[in-house]
Amino acid sequence: MIPAYENAVKHLKKLPGLGQRSAERIAMHLLVEKPETLDRLIETLTSAARAVKRCPQTGNICEGDLCDIYADTHRNRQVICVVEQVTDLIAIERSGTFKGTYHVLHGKLSPIQGVRPEHLNLTSLKTRLHDDAVSELILALSNDIEGEATCHYIQECVVEKRPVTITRIGFGLPSGGGVTYADSATLKSALEGRRVYS
């Protein structure tokens, strides 16, 4: 095979959700079928990389000092929905149900994969609990062992003795399922049917 093509496929495969065949299709599309789109894609990604950053409060993506959701004065800062990834936040926002703010962890605890508390966006969550006088923390994490371990850690080591109600979504989410891939109706039911986490 052609080394330059193989190298492109190898790097595309490193992107989340892309396997060998998907990487090959994308490489073929960009390099052979539609090469005119490549320069525009590179320019767009480079521009986005310079402009997009993490919101220091929520961990969401933003272009200014704060993300739009946290900066919105109509959102309830006293209620925080904790999610694993920005894609989970986007999925919940699409449901149109939640009017509080979010906190993106950028992962979940996984000793097997070497993900420890210091690798997650937990320090700013602890600060927000105090600064925003948080009354409820909604844990919208995956319904799997790592998600449960992360919920337990947040309860024991982040919230500690603070007077915060901790709830956990779960109704309507399949075992082992994640927030990102649930439909809007399921997420609406999951948020409305949340239970106290203990």
According to CATH, where is 3.40.1360.10 located in the chain? 73-196
Q: Indicate the burial class of 187 (C-beta count within 10 angstroms; 0-12, 13-18, 19 or more).
A: buried
CB atoms within 10 A of CB 82: 24
| Tokens found for residue 167 | 């709830």
Q: Does domain 73-196 have CATH number 3.40.1440.60?
A: no
Q: What residues does CATH 1.10.8.420 cover in the chain?
A: 3-51
Is residue 170 predicted with pLDDT exceeding 70?
A: no
pLDDT in tens, 75-102: 999 999 999 999 999 999 998 889 999 9
CATH dotted code for 3-51: 1.10.8.420
Report the C-alpha gap between 174 and 56 in whole angstroms. Answer: 32
Give the separation between CA 67 and CA 148, rounded to whole angstroms: 27
pLDDT tens, residue by residue, 3-47? 899 999 999 999 988 999 999 999 999 999 998 999 999 999 999
